[in-house]
Chain A
Amino acid sequence: MAVMTMVQAINSALETKLKEDPDVLCYGEDVGVEGGVFRVTENLQKQFGEARVFDSPLAESGIVGTAVGMCIAGLRPVVEIQFCGFVYPAFNQILSHVARMHNRTRGRYRMSMVIRFPYGGGIKAPEHHSESMEALYAHIPGLKVVIPSNPYDAKGLLISAIESDDPVLYLEPKKIYRAIKQDVPDEKFTIPLGQAKVMQEGQDLTLVSYGAMIREAQKAVVMAKKEGYSIELIDLRTISPIDRETLAQSIRKTGRVLSVTEGPKSFGVGAEIISIANEEAFLNLEAPPTRLAGFDTVPPYPRGEGWYFYPPERIFYEIKKLMDF
C-alpha cells in the first residue's frame, strides 16, 4: 500500500500491466522520454525500454489508426492523447474502426486498446483544454467509456480497461490529477467495468456524478446533511455501458434523482440518467428527475469558469428545490 495521487495511481496501473503482459505497449506524443504532458507515463520508458513505451508524432489519427492495426495483430496498445479536445483528428478512426471492427468482422478482431486522455475544466483554460466530451463517445455503440474520480478507482479501472477485449476510452479528470491522495495497493487489483459505486447510502435523493464533480457533489452532500437530508451518492465510474441496475434500485428507493456533470447540458449523460429514472422508476418518483450540467456553450476562458462549473452551493440549492417539490 502506498499513498498516491491519481497521476501516480494511473502510472502504477500502466506499470503493473507492462510488467505482466508483454503485449501491452504505451505511446503518444511525449509519452516516452518526457513521460507525457501531465507526466502520467514518467519513468515507464526507463523501466520497460523504448520498444514498449515510446514517442509518436502529434498526429492523433495516426496514433489511433496504428493502434487499430496493433490490436488486429494481437497487441494491447494503450495510447495517450494530450487533451480531450485534441481527440477529434482521430474521431474518424474511433467511430469508424475502433468502435466497429469487432462487429464488422463478426467478432474475429478484438479492439483491445485503451485510449487515455485528460478531460474537464477547472484549470482556467478555454474550450479544447477544458471540455468534457464523454457523451459523444458514450453515444457510439462498441465503445466503453470510463472516468475515475479518485486514485484507488483510477488504478483498478485502468487495469480492467487494459485487460478488456473491448476498446475503452479512459478519461482522466485533470483538475484532480494531483488534488487527492489516497492509499492504493502497489500490487495488482481490478475494479469491474460497468459497475457504479454507491459512495454513500441515503434515503431522500439519489445524487449521480463522476470524475472531478464527485468532490463537489460530496461537499453538497455534507451541506444537505446539515439540513437533515439523507443523500445517496453514486459515482458512475463507467459512463458506458451505464450501470442501469444500480441507478434504478437507488431511484426506486429515494424517488428523487439529480445528476451533476460537466459537459454541455443538452443531449448529455444527465439526459440518459433521467431516461433511466423514467423507464425504471416512474411510479416511485417524488420530484422531476433533474440534471445539472455545463451550459450549452464552449467552456469559457477563466473569467467565466466559476459560472460554468458547478460549485457545491449550487448543487445543494438544486437538492433543496427537489426536496421541497
Chain B
Amino acid sequence: MKSSSLSSYPIDFLKKLLKDMLLIRRFEEKCGQMYGLQKIGGFCHLYIGQEAVAVGSIAALDLNRDYCLTAYRDHGHALACGLCPNGLMAELFGKATGCSRGKGGSMHMFDITKGMYGGNGIVGAQIPIATGMAMRFRYKKEKGVVLCFFGDGAIHQGVFHESLNLAKLWKLPIVYICENNQYGMGTDFHRVSAVEDLSIKGAAYNIPGKQVNGMDVLEVYEEVLSAVNQAKEEGIPTLIEAKTYRYKGHSMSDPGKYRSKEELESYKQQDPILILKNQMVDAKILTEEEYQSYDEECKNISNESVRFAEQSPEPSLSSLYEDVLA
C-alpha cells in the first residue's frame, strides 16, 4: 500500500470513506434490481467496482465551494457529494421528487447546493464545461477547485486536448481525473489508445500527470488532495489516471462478453471496499460486527429510497414544457 499508515487519519474519516463506498455499492445493486423490474427506464450505468475513485477524490473537496462534474456513470459521485439517495432513486424512476424532477434520469444527477454539477450523457462533454467553471475561481480570485471526472473513452475526444491546453494556459484550478475502468463500452482501451499510460497525455500541455491505484481509496485521496492543493494554491492543473474496474457491464443492457470471468474475478480480489475494511480490521479500528451494521444501514437506506420513489408522484403533463426557455 502506497498510502501512509492508517494511524495518520482520524478514525471517523476512515469510517466515513468506508460507509460512503458501501452505500454506493448497495444503492447501485438496488438500481440494478429495479432496472430488471423495469422500474427504471432507458440507460443505467452502474458504478460498482469504482467506488474508491469518487469517494477518495471527493473527500478532498470542500463541497461548499468546490465543483464536481462527471459523465453518465454518475450515481456514485452524486452519493459521494452527499445527495440524498431518495432523490436519486426517484430521479431514476422518473418521478417528480427526483433530484432533476424526474426529467433527467440516470445520467443527469444534479445538486448545486452540494457541489454536484452533474452527470452528462455525452462522452467527454463535461471536460470543457468543467474547465470553464474553473475559470470562475481564477477570475474572481476565489480559492476553489474543480474535479472533472471522465473515462478512458472520453480521453480520445478532441475537447479533452483543447481543455487541457486552456487549463494550463489560463492557470486554472482543476484536477482532471480519468477513471480508466479498462473498457470504453465493449472496447478494451488498448485497442483504441496509442499509449498505455493515459496520465502522460498531460505532457503536451506541460500538465503533471499521475497514475494511481483506483481500487485504493486512501491512495486516491492522497494524490487528489495533493493535486487539489496545488490547484488551489498555485493554479496548476493536474491529470490523474485512476486505474479501476467496473464489475458490471457498461450499462444494464451490456452482458460484458468482451472480458473473461477470470479477469473480473481477479479485480474482485482487489475490491476497494474490502481493501479498506481489511486494513481497518487489521489496525483494530473496525470490528466485523461494526462492518455488518454499516452494511445493514446502507441496505436499509437503499430500500427506503425505493419506497420513496415508488410512492412519489409522476411529473405532470404540463411539466413537459417546463424549462424549455427561461
Residues of A within 8 A of B (CB): 29-30, 32-34, 37, 55-59, 61-62, 85-86, 88-89, 123-130, 295-298, 300-305, 307-308
Contact = CB atoms under 8 A, between A and B. Distances in A.
A126 B104 CA distance: 7
B184 interface: yes
Nearest to A304: B320
Pick the most buried of A33, A59, A300, A307: most chain B CB atoms within 10 A of its CB.
A59
Interface residues of B, number: 37
Contact of A301 (B103, B185, B192): B103
A57 B317 contact: no
Contacts of B191: 32-33, 55
B104 A301 contact: yes
A37 B185 contact: yes
Contact of A128 (B102, B122, B187): B122
Contacts of B184: 29-30, 57-58
Nearest to A58: B153
Given A127-B121, A129-B43, A58 B102 contact: no
A129 to B, nearest CB: 6
Contacts of B108: 126
Contacts of A86: 122-123
A126 B105 CA distance: 7
B193 A301 contact: no
A83 to B, nearest CB: 9
A58 B104 contact: no
A57 B41 contact: no
B94 A33 contact: no
Interface stretch (B17-25, B154-162, B236-244): B154-162
Given A127-B121, A296-B324, A304-B315, 18 more contacts: A29-B192, A30-B184, A30-B185, A32-B191, A58-B184, A59-B157, A61-B158, A62-B156, A89-B122, A89-B158, A124-B42, A125-B42, A126-B107, A297-B324, A302-B42, A303-B94, A303-B95, A304-B103
Interface in B75-109: 94-95, 102-105, 107-108
Contacts of A37: 185
Interface of B: 41-43, 94-95, 102-105, 107-108, 121-124, 153-154, 156-159, 184-188, 191-193, 258, 314-315, 317, 319-321, 324
A57 B153 contact: yes
A125 B324 contact: no
A312 B82 CA distance: 45
Given A126-B103, A297-B320, A300-B320, A33 B42 contact: no
A295 B320 contact: yes
Nearest to A38: B253
Nearest to B100: A301
A129 B321 contact: no
The B contact surface, by secondary structure, is loop
Nearest to B317: A307
9 contacts: A29-B192, A57-B157, A58-B123, A58-B192, A61-B158, A125-B105, A300-B315, A300-B320, A301-B94
Pick the most buried of B107, B156, B192, B314: most chain A CB atoms within 10 A of its CB.
B192
A59 B186 contact: no
Of all A-B residue pairs in the complex, the 5 with the closest CB atoms, nearest first, are A124-B41, A125-B42, A57-B156, A302-B41, A34-B186
Contacts of A61: 157-158
A125 B187 contact: no
A208 to B, nearest CB: 25
Pick the most buried of A126, A297, A300: most chain B CB atoms within 10 A of its CB.
A126
A59 B158 contact: yes
Contact of A34 (B103, B107, B157, B258): B258
A294 to B, nearest CB: 10
A33 B41 contact: no
Nearest to A31: B187
A308 B321 CA distance: 11
Nearest to A128: B121
B193 A308 contact: no
A300 B103 contact: yes
B234 to A, nearest CB: 31
B128 to A, nearest CB: 11
Nearest to A126: B105
Contact of A29 (B124, B158, B187, B317): B187
Nearest to B42: A125
Contacts of B154: 58
A281 B41 CA distance: 44
Contacts of A89: 122, 124, 157-159
A207 B166 CA distance: 52
Given A34-B187, A125-B42, A295-B321, A85 B121 contact: yes
A39 B104 CA distance: 27
B179 to A, nearest CB: 15
A236 to B, nearest CB: 27
B187 A33 contact: yes
Contact of B185 (A29, A127, A304): A29
Nearest to B188: A33
A29 B321 CA distance: 34
Nearest to B160: A59
A59 B192 CA distance: 10
B316 to A, nearest CB: 9
A30 B192 CA distance: 10
Nearest to A59: B156
A310 B263 CA distance: 46
Nearest to B251: A37
A37 B249 CA distance: 12
Given A129-B43, A302-B94, A33 B102 contact: no
